Each structure stands twice: as structure tokens, then as C-alpha cells.
């Protein structure tokens, strides 16, 4: 499913114009993105949790040369689905 498909489903469900539906979907995604960029976790009841995790520096190696390198610290995004979503998928 693409963003355009989501916009279409919102349009059908609410009865708004395509432009209004697209603006609404963009607004929701923008809020989600800014929340996660700031390092906050995002919980959507009945859907799941988006969790921002901090990874520390670590040693790695270049597979072509075998040279040891330091992989810099970074933030990663994880998703943990709710039990309601897991149950719905597995039925």
C-alpha cells in the first residue's frame, strides 16, 4: 500500500475531497516524523510503538580489506506491534 492508496481510503471513508484527504495524511505523517526526529517515542493505541534507540560506537571491519574501523554512534528506529495488531494479522 502506498501513500496514494492511504489517501484514497481516507477519501472514501470520510467523504472529503482528494486534496483535503492528501493534506490530512501529510499532516499526520509530518507530526509523526517530527516526533521521531526529536527522539521521542510514538505510541499509537491498537497499532504499535515506534521507538527511537541510540546505538553506541562499535568496532567493525571492512570485509574487502579486513581493516578494523569504528562504526559511529547513531539512532535507529524500531517498531513493536501491539497485541491487537498481531492478533488481527494472525487470524
Euclidean distance between CA atoms 32 and 24, whole angstroms = 13
Whether residues 1 and 29 share a domain: the answer is: yes
Kindly report the CATH number assigned to the domain that includes residue 67: 4.10.520.10
What does the block give as the cell for 60? 567493525
In the chain, the number of structural domains is 2
Whether residues 44 and 88 share a domain: the answer is: yes
What does the mean pLDDT of the chain come to? Answer: 94
Residue-level length of the chain: 91
Whether residues 30 and 49 share a domain: the answer is: no
Burial of 7 (0-12, 13-18, 19+ CB in 10 A): buried
The pLDDT-based confidence of 38 (bands split at 50, 70, 90) is very high
The pLDDT-based confidence of 15 (bands split at 50, 70, 90) is confident
Whether residues 34 and 75 share a domain: the answer is: no
pLDDT at 19 over 90: yes
Looking at residue 41, its pLDDT comes to: 95
Domain that holds residue 32: 1-38
Helices 3-14 and 18-37, axial angle in degrees (round to 10) = 120
Whether residues 25 and 66 share a domain: the answer is: no
Percentage of the chain lying above the pLDDT 90 cut: 97
The answer to whether the predicted template modeling score (pTM) of the entire model surpasses 0.85 is no
Say if strands 74-81 and 48-55 run parallel, antiparallel, or are unpaired: antiparallel
Amino acid at each position: 500500500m502506498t501513500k496514494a492508496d492511504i489517501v484514497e481510503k481516507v477519501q472514501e471513508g470520510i467523504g472529503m475531497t482528494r486534496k483535503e484527504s492528501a493534506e490530512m495524511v501529510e499532516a499526520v505523517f509530518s507530526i509523526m516524523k517530527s516526533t521521531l526526529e526529536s527522539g521521542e517515542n510514538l505510541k499509537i493505541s491498537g497499532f504499535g510503538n515506534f521507538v527511537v534507540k541510540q546505538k553506541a560506537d562499535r568496532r567493525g571491519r571492512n570485509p574487502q580489506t579486513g581493516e578494523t574501523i569504528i562504526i559511529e554512534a547513531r539512532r535507529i528506529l524500531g517498531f513493536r506491534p501491539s497485541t491487537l495488531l498481531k492478533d488481527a494479522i494472525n487470524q
